[in-house]
Amino acid sequence: MQYTSLGRSGATVSRICLGTMNFGPVIDEAASFQILDAAVDAGVTFIDTADVYGGPPWSERPGHTEEILGRWLHQRGRRDDVVLATKVYGTMGSGPSDRGLSALHIRAGVDASLRRLQTDRIDLLQMHHIDRAVPVDEVLEAFEVLRAQGKIVYLGSSNFAGWNLAQYAEHARATSSPRLVTEQSVYSLARRAIEAEVVPAAEHYGIGLLPWSPLAGGLLGGILAKRDRSRSQDHPDLAKHREAVEGYEQLAAAWGIPPGELALAWLLHQPAVTAPVVGPRTMDQFDGAVRAVEVTLSEEQLGELDRLWPGPGRAPESYAW
């Protein structure tokens, strides 16, 4: 395993982040424990979850995934071996204050997550989405209180636009409030929109990127090579990207790199990326994610992938002069 800094913070994390959204709704507790055990044994020190994860479907039983992770942490005694990340924002109940980023919901949500996770602290608390209805000063003041209480260590965002990162970073600078150390965003070879503004903002402010859906929902996982072809045709983006997918899988075969590992390796070569968030459903998928860390791609190979899956370019040059 390889390690890097968590954004511009002093914390060190593995270059693979174990995502847990499948724990509960897709795989049972025993299988979840098996993957968690294998992850820490392989040197993974970064685990990501969210208060709303549960299921099925994933948000029908909010808190279930945190409960599974909490039982594993308690039974295995591995709390100090991992950097633990969760999120707040999603709907956790039927009340009007049971969602969003109000100070009321943030503080209640953190206390509930701590109980489910059976821990005294959250190492990285992430805003799961931008909340345009709540002033930035209210959000950051709530996090400052939680940090002073020792309940959180670092603050991150998820699904923020580039200007939102700047908005929070500049407010934190002006008021000495907690600053963002990470941004978790959808990012893959097939979904590169964040390169226009989010990636430049993250680079400028020293914010580490945590790409979610790094295989584009399975599109980059060898979809055409899988035996169950009838299932592979169900991917909503396959028809639109079929030519690129065919070329991609041919390149992967020629280079001797499994497609899923190639997609993760590409992300690990991109600016500002701290760790892709992988959500394995099987041990084989987890093993592939770990192997991706050791894959080195040449400039020529990166160029071939760019030609297959061109990015948007940086703003404003991508749409102006």
Known catalytic residues? 53
Q: Judge contact between 20 and 53, C-beta under 8 A.
A: yes
Q: Judge contact between 235 and 223, C-beta under 8 A.
A: yes
Contacts of 154 (CB under 8 A, 6+ apart): 6, 9, 11, 123, 124, 125, 178, 181, 182
Task: Kindly state the tokens that stand for 261.
Answer: 């590992």
How far apart are the C-alpha atoms of 84 and 11, rounded to whole Å? 12
* Beta-bridge partner residues of 191: 188
Roughly how many angstroms between the first and final C-alpha of the chain, as a whole number? 42
Backbone angles phi, psi at 285, to 5 degrees: -65, -40
Map tokens 């890097």 to a residue.
Answer: 4
Q: What share of the chain is helix, strand, coil (3-state, %, to 5)?
A: 45, 15, 40
Q: What is the dihedral of CA 261, 263, 266, 270, to 10 degrees?
A: -130
Contacts of 296 (CB under 8 A, 6+ apart): 265
Map tokens 């503080």 to a residue.
Answer: 107
Beta strands 152-158 and 3-5 are unpaired
Exposure string of 222-231, with b = 16+ CB inside 10 Å and e = fewer, is bbbeeeeeee
Instruction: Give, in degrees to the nearest 5, the angle at Cα 212 between 264 and 7.
Output: 85
How far apart are the C-alpha atoms of 246 and 194, rounded to whole Å? 24
Backbone angles phi, psi at 138, to 5 degrees: -65, -45
